[in-house]
Structure 1
Amino acid sequence: MRWRDLFNGVRLLFFNFRKKAKGYSHKKSNNYTEFSIEALMEKQNSQEFKLKKKIGDLRNKAESINDRVEKESILLKCESMAQNDPIELHFTYSGLIELYYGQREEWENSLEKCIQYCKKDISLFPSFKKEWINDEIFRLKCLLSMYEKGSEEYKKREKELNNYEWRPPRIPSFQRLAIIYEKLGKYEDAINVCNIAISYGLHDGTKGGFEGRIERLKKKILKN
């Protein structure tokens, strides 16, 4: 979990290295005092974060078990709990997509469920992106607030914050749905999924990306 990593990292710096970290200041002397260690701990103690942690722990449990039926039950519970959290909901959808696609030959309607969750995740993406960026900005401001204004470390963190650019993580639902549609012979639908992914600035991790996938799909259409 990204937030857990942040809290652990900040705690380590704050409690163990505050006397050693060059430029560190516990004084509220910069423009980002609202993102101090106190604000961070307040967020950690909030009901929102506690629910996020609970969902994350359940997802980690689901990933660690081999029983597919139990895994599905846990992930569906996570889905119900994460309705107001786009980030946790996205990762829950990803777990269900992977599960249902892997069981497509064994479970009845598994492929249909996989398609359903791919569509849900794709629809969720704008909210996921907004929440992800907000989390990243908050994280950077928290780190910046731990250093005295004017110190080298402060300048480094400030530059990182001011130059922040959205770098989307890989979103498997787009590629998975495009592959499924391609295998079903629904080439136009697959191309549409790829175009949506491109419009969001996403990449599928392959050499040609979604653009290359579209070209291959167009060639298949011409052959038919």
Structure 2
Amino acid sequence: MGFLSNLFGKQSAETNLTEMKNIPVKKGPDLLSVHPDIRDLIWLNDGPNKNYILEKKESIYEYEGVRFVISFMSGEEPSSISLKLPVSFVEDSVKVERPPYYPSYAQLTPEQRGEYWKLLANPYKPGTDIGYVFILYYGLERHLLNGNYEKAFDVVLKLRDVHQNGSFQSYSANALILTGLYRQRPDLIRKFVQSIDHDFELIFSDNLYLLCMFGLDIPLSAKDIMRMAKTFEFTNLNYIKKYPDIFEEVLLANIQQKYNADVLSIKDFINAKENRKLHVQNTRIFANMSIIDTSIQVPQIADNFKLKKAVYDLLEETHEQTKVKLATLRKNGESIKKVMDEPKKKVIPVFNSDLEKTLLKEFISKKDDAVGRHFSLIALQNFYYKYRDVDVKYVDKCIAACIEDIKSLANLQIDYRKQEIERINMSSNFYSKDEINAKIVNVECFPGRIPAFERLVIIYEKNKRYNDALSVCDQAIRYYTSYGMPSQSQEFEERKEKLQNKVM
């Protein structure tokens, strides 16, 4: 427990823990209490209505002449419900600890399961902890991939309209777009695009947005171009941010002058031949850990030279013209509407020692489970980083948790494979011996990102410890390369290059 000593000195982590008094109202909740929209979309791994088993799939689809290959090996579904697990309903939800990073129903406490069943009764209630929303969403993703995808699609759209969390918006948008693509259902993609009526619903890949617009032959508006300026490598955003109305007015005039239209059609720059030559990037789509290795080769519309140059030139010209127009308005004494940055109120959080003890207790309980230990360390990293402005010692504790996690990655991989094999063997009643053996042979490495790498680089860079940050980048590159995660490895190659420029 050297790691624990680093965090807490001589303090015992297993004593003086604040226990919450729970009110166990019922156990084995009634499925009829689930909202009608999702009653037949939840996954059950026991009971008479059991509907979840492990499986392997590979599918090939084509959309707008672009070929998509999707393959995945399914692990344990994190949203699957065992009706045998105890559930306790607590009167004061605030007293219930938040669900862990990458939550699953099985790993929740009885009280957390009670909160989850409240969500199942009304999944559209604003303010619900996003951890519970994600558990439900994981199961909906599985339906999008291989189930009642149309109903799941509509439910996710409704959830997106209520739950504004950026990660949820990003993952759900990607998954919905993918569903429309590989099922060759442009009507679903159109439904998704038409559902966007809040700015927060645009928090997802610009490239996927462009792919939607391209496939549906929907032109880009001036607002679209301004929002995606950085994607087209235009980085001087000063006027876009401070004077959006004037910039949009000038940009619209330029589009009208150059293209005799109020909008920009992507298909004017990408013909059928160029379409097939588009660079593609293998991209993981789902947040669900059991199908996270599901990948699709996504055409990079934004990398098309003709489109990128046309948009960049429009933005550059508009920027210069906006500069002149602002100078003229000021000279004439006219009022200029400027978007002011709201002063950020820095709230220093009060350290939650009870939660610290709870998280530590969870970490201790996972000492023989490298996978569970990994996620417990992520929870500790997030917890201490939250209090980085309270005291520098919490930054040090965050660093310690990150380093401990990185040191344990080899054991994580070993235990993950072992657990996956155990899960496959548990399904022996459903498959032949040869099929079981084939599944075991196809068990892959732990597919998740390792937040400790990124968190350490951010902390070290912020504190000008560039050599330490470079060392972590090298560790991340070696790890992701060794386990076949090229996109993550490339991300740290790029981080390393930027850091090297700071060292020079």
TM-score category of the 2 structures, normalised to the smaller one: 0.5 to 0.7
> What amino acid sits opposite 2:466 in the alignment?
Y
Q: Specify which of 149, 171, 185 is matched with residue 432 of structure 2.
A: 149
Q: Distance in 2 between the 1:196 and 1:129 partners? A: 16
Contact residue 181 and residue 190 of structure 1 kept, 8 A = yes
Distance 1:80 1:17, change over 3 A: closer
Contact residue 103 and residue 110 of structure 1 kept, 8 A = yes
Report how far residue 164 of structure 1 moved.
2.4
Contact residue 460 and residue 466 of structure 2 kept, 8 A = yes
Match of 1:200 in 2: 479
Match of 1:178 in 2: 457
1:163 aligns with 2:198: no
What are the ranges of 5 or more consecutive residues in structure 1 without an aligned counterpart? 1-7, 22-43, 45-52
Match of 1:94 in 2: 378
Deviations 1:2-53 (CA, angstroms, capped at 9, x unpaired): xxxxxx85435xx5469xx9xxxxxxxxxxxxxxxxxxxxxx9xxxxxxxx9
Q: Distance in 1 between the 2:386 and 2:486 partners? A: 19
1:114 aligns with 2:149: no
Deviations 1:87-142 (CA, angstroms, capped at 9, x unpaired): 22211111111011111102451111111111111111111111111111211222
Distance 1:148 1:122, change over 3 A: closer
Q: Distance in 2 between the 1:142 and 1:54 partners? A: 16
Report how far residue 165 of structure 1 moved.
2.0
1:127 aligns with 2:411: yes
Q: Distance in 1 between the 2:50 and 2:396 partners? A: 52
Report how far residue 78 of structure 1 moved.
1.7
Match of 2:493 in 1: 211
Q: Specify which of 26, 46, 58 is matched with residue 11 of structure 1.
A: 46
> What amino acid sits opposite 1:194 in the alignment?
C
2:443 aligned counterpart, secondary structure? coil
Q: Distance in 2 between the 1:204 and 1:171 partners? A: 14
Distance 1:200 1:115, change over 3 A: same
1:136 aligns with 2:420: yes
Q: Distance in 2 between the 1:158 and 1:10 partners? A: 22
Distance 1:208 1:79, change over 3 A: same
Q: Distance in 1 between the 2:431 and 2:486 partners? A: 41
> What amino acid sits opposite 2:432 in the alignment?
K
> What amino acid sits opposite 1:11 in the alignment?
D
Q: Distance in 2 between the 1:215 and 1:169 partners? A: 24
Distance 1:122 1:102, change over 3 A: same
What are the ranges of 5 or more consecutive residues in structure 2 without an aligned counterpart? 1-42, 54-84, 86-104, 114-130, 133-349
Q: Distance in 1 between the 2:361 and 2:469 partners? A: 30
Q: Specify which of 109, 120, 131 is matched with residue 57 of structure 1.
A: 109
1:109 aligned counterpart, secondary structure? helix
Match of 1:25 in 2: none
TM-score by structure 2 length? 0.30
Contact residue 90 and residue 128 of structure 1 kept, 8 A = yes
Contact residue 68 and residue 99 of structure 1 kept, 8 A = no
1:127 aligned counterpart, secondary structure? helix
Distance 1:175 1:55, change over 3 A: same
2:380 aligned counterpart, secondary structure? helix
Segment drifting more, 75-84 vs 184-193: 75-84
Report sequence identity in percent: 29
Report the number of matched residues. 174
Q: Specify which of 329, 352, 360 is matched with residue 76 of structure 1.
A: 360
> What amino acid sits opposite 1:83 in the alignment?
K
> What amino acid sits opposite 2:425 in the alignment?
K
Q: Specify which of 463, 469, 493 is matched with residue 190 of structure 1.
A: 469
Distance 1:54 1:16, change over 3 A: closer
Report how far residue 83 of structure 1 moved.
2.2
2:447 aligned counterpart, secondary structure? coil
> What amino acid sits opposite 1:217 in the alignment?
L
Q: Distance in 2 between the 1:71 and 1:106 partners? A: 16
CA-based RMSD of the aligned residues comes to: 3.7
Name the larger-Rg structure: 2
Distance 1:79 1:163, change over 3 A: closer
Which is strand-richer, 1 or 2?
2
